[in-house]
Amino acid sequence: MICIELLVFEKGKFQIDLIGRYPFIVQQQMVKYMCLPVVDDCSLVTMLESPLANTANQATRKRSRTEDDNVDADVNASVKDNTPGQSGFSHSVSKQLIFSSLWLDECELQVGMRFRDKYELEKAVELYSNRRQRDYTAFLSKFVCKKYCGWALIVAKTESNGFEIIEHTGPHSCKPVDLSSDFLADEIECLIKAQPSLSITELNKWVKDEFGYTVSHSSM
């Protein structure tokens, strides 16, 4: 549910900036979120859509009610002084990571997937590779496995200056690389925030199931 508070200010002095919360990766019973500034019709539609598959929705509902109590963090209305000489909200917001609904639903890279720009495409490939513990080399319109196992993605520019996957060779046949400790720590931190009641034993099992690694109790 999205709650929007309407505020009235003297015309010309203030503007209301709306920021939604948008999921950008789904992982079993965990959903990560990012800030989604609503600056035009397109970003409003993105905030209002429900791109997650039913399985992801079921997993989300299993999370602790603690997160439900923080519903005010889902959509934040902030007020900015709009005096002359200051840039508007849309100019001050850094580029955000917004994946297509298809990426969120499938969590796999497939022929026909479209991305809004090169940044979104590169982040999708980065997340995909991190999840599978694989390194890759990026070229102008191609991504290939660093171990040359045969995995590759070829993309082409679309009419709207986005990018589309036109060829996909895979999956990887090489062995996974060592997982970055920073990446693993970030994954564990996000899972704990989503499910603070998890025990160390459950966390260890999750890491083992997801990445094939065993983490010592002292490291946890």
C-alpha angle with apex 26: 29 to 149, nearest 5 degrees? 120
Contacts of 204 (CB under 8 A, 6+ apart): 214, 215, 217, 220
Q: Is the pTM of this model over 0.75?
A: no
Question: What does the pLDDT read at residue 52?
Answer: 43
174 or 89: which leads in pLDDT: 174
**What is the C-alpha to C-alpha distance for residues 169 and 111, in angstroms, rounded to an integer?**
10
Name all contacts of 192-197 with Cβ < 8 Å and 24+ positions apart.
194/29, 194/30, 194/31, 194/63, 194/64, 194/67, 195/29, 195/30, 195/63, 195/64, 196/64, 196/66, 197/64
Cβ 44 vs Cβ 38: under 8 Å: yes
Mean pLDDT, range 33-39, rounded to an integer: 59
Span 124-183, pLDDT tens digits: 898 888 778 788 999 999 999 998 899 999 999 998 889 999 999 988 888 777 666 777
Question: What does the pLDDT read at residue 190?
Answer: 80
Span 197-212, pLDDT tens digits: 888 888 888 887 776 6
